[in-house]
Amino acid sequence: MKYPPPVKKFPHILHGGDYNPEQWLKWKDKIWKEDMRLAKLAGINTLSVGIFSWTALEPEEGQYRFEWLDEVMDLLAENGMTAVLATPSGARPAWMSRKYPEVLRVNASRQRNIHGDRHNHCLSSPVYREKTSAINSLLARRYRDHRALGVWHISNEYSGDCHCPLCQAKFRQYLKDKYKTLDALNEAWWSAFWSGTITDWDQIESPGGPGSGGHNGIKLDWRRFTTEQFVDFYLNETAPLKKITPETPCTTNLMTAGFSGIDYFRFAEVLDLVSWDSYPRWTSAEGNAEVGLRTSYAHDLTRSLKRRPFMLMESCPSATNWRAVAKLHRPGLHMLQSIQALAHGADSVQYFQFRKSRGGPEQHHGAVVDHEGSENTRVFRDVAELGQRLKSLDALVGADTPARAALMYDYQVRWALDDAKGFLQENTGYEETVINHYRPFWKRGIPLDLIDSRQSLDKYSLVIAPMLYMLREGAADRISAFVRRGGLLVSTYATGYVNESTLAFLGGFPGPLKETLGIWCEEIDALFPGETNSIEWNGKSYRAFDLCELIHGRGAEILGSYGGDFYAGSPALTVNNYGQGKAYYIAARTDGDFLDDFYRKIGAEAGLTPLFDDLPEGVSAQVRGGDEKYFVFLMNFTNREQQVSGQPALAPFEARIIERSSL
Ligand SMILES: [Zn+2]
What are the C-alpha distances in Å from 129 to residues 51, 87, 156, 158, 197?
Answer: 17, 12, 15, 15, 34
Q: Which of 22, 228, 237, 314 is catalytic?
A: 314
Look up the CATH superfamily of 14-159+248-391: Glycosidases (3.20.20.80)
Cα(151) to centroid(ligand 1), Å: 29
Confidence of residue 287 (pLDDT cuts 50, 70, 90): confident
Third-level CATH fold of 405-605: Rossmann fold (3.40.50)
Cα(167) to centroid(ligand 1), Å: 4
Cα(424) to centroid(ligand 1), Å: 33
pLDDT number for residue 429: 95
Determine what percent of the chain is predicted with pLDDT higher than 90: 95
Q: Angle, to 10 degrees, between the axis of helix 288-306 and the axis of helix 430-444?
A: 100
Confidence of residue 643 (pLDDT cuts 50, 70, 90): very high
pLDDT number for residue 422: 86
pLDDT number for residue 212: 81
CA atoms of 217 and 212, how far apart (whole Å): 13
Average pLDDT over residues 213-227: 92
Q: 338 φ, ψ to 5°?
A: -75, -45
CA atoms of 200 and 313, how far apart (whole Å): 45
- Residue 205: pLDDT over 80: yes
Average pLDDT over residues 577-595: 97
Q: Is 187 a catalytic residue?
A: no
Cα(102) to centroid(ligand 1), Å: 7
Confidence of residue 633 (pLDDT cuts 50, 70, 90): very high
Confidence of residue 513 (pLDDT cuts 50, 70, 90): very high
- Residue 211: pLDDT over 90: no
Average pLDDT over residues 492-504: 97
CB neighbour list of residue 338: distance below 8 Å, 6 or more residues apart: 312, 315, 349, 386, 655
pLDDT number for residue 427: 86
Confidence of residue 245 (pLDDT cuts 50, 70, 90): very high
Cα(120) to centroid(ligand 1), Å: 10
Average pLDDT over residues 584-613: 96
- Residue 518: pLDDT over 90: yes
CA atoms of 327 and 281, how far apart (whole Å): 8
Name the nearest CA neighbour of 561 among 546, 545, 578, 540. 540
pLDDT number for residue 143: 98
Average pLDDT over residues 489-493: 98
- Residue 213: pLDDT over 80: no
Cα(126) to centroid(ligand 1), Å: 10
Cα(397) to centroid(ligand 1), Å: 40
Residue ranges of the chain that CATH labels 3.20.20.80: 14-159+248-391
Average pLDDT over residues 58-86: 98
- Residue 449: pLDDT over 90: yes
pLDDT number for residue 434: 98
Cα(164) to centroid(ligand 1), Å: 4
pLDDT number for residue 644: 96
Confidence of residue 285 (pLDDT cuts 50, 70, 90): confident
Average pLDDT of the residues of the chain: 96
pLDDT number for residue 425: 80
CA atoms of 580 and 488, how far apart (whole Å): 9
CA atoms of 342 and 17, how far apart (whole Å): 16
Q: What is the β-pairing status of strands 348-351 and 14-18? A: parallel
CA atoms of 216 and 220, how far apart (whole Å): 6
Confidence of residue 424 (pLDDT cuts 50, 70, 90): confident
Cα(176) to centroid(ligand 1), Å: 18
Cα(168) to centroid(ligand 1), Å: 7
CA atoms of 422 and 424, how far apart (whole Å): 6
Cα(103) to centroid(ligand 1), Å: 8
pLDDT number for residue 214: 72
pLDDT number for residue 64: 97
Residue ranges of the chain that CATH labels 3.40.50.880: 405-605
Cα(618) to centroid(ligand 1), Å: 46
Determine what percent of the chain is predicted with pLDDT higher than 70: 100
In 11-135, beta strands by DSSP E: 14-18, 46-49, 82-86
Cα(488) to centroid(ligand 1), Å: 45
Q: Which of 22, 58, 157, 549 is catalytic?
A: 157
- pLDDT tens column, 614-630: 899 999 999 999 999 99
pLDDT number for residue 597: 98
Entry pTM: 0.98
pLDDT number for residue 607: 97
Cα(514) to centroid(ligand 1), Å: 43
Cα(181) to centroid(ligand 1), Å: 25
Lowest-pLDDT range of 37-41, 198-202, 212-216, 267-271: 212-216
pLDDT number for residue 657: 98
Give the chain's largest Cα–Cα span. Answer: 78
Cα(125) to centroid(ligand 1), Å: 6
Contact 489, 467 (CB under 8 A): no
Confidence of residue 119 (pLDDT cuts 50, 70, 90): confident
Average pLDDT over residues 113-131: 94
Confidence of residue 423 (pLDDT cuts 50, 70, 90): confident
Q: Is 61 a catalytic residue?
A: no
Cα(579) to centroid(ligand 1), Å: 50
- pLDDT tens column, 323-367: 999 999 999 999 999 999 999 999 999 999 999 999 999 999 999
pLDDT number for residue 426: 80
Q: What is the β-pairing status of strands 581-586 and 571-578? A: antiparallel
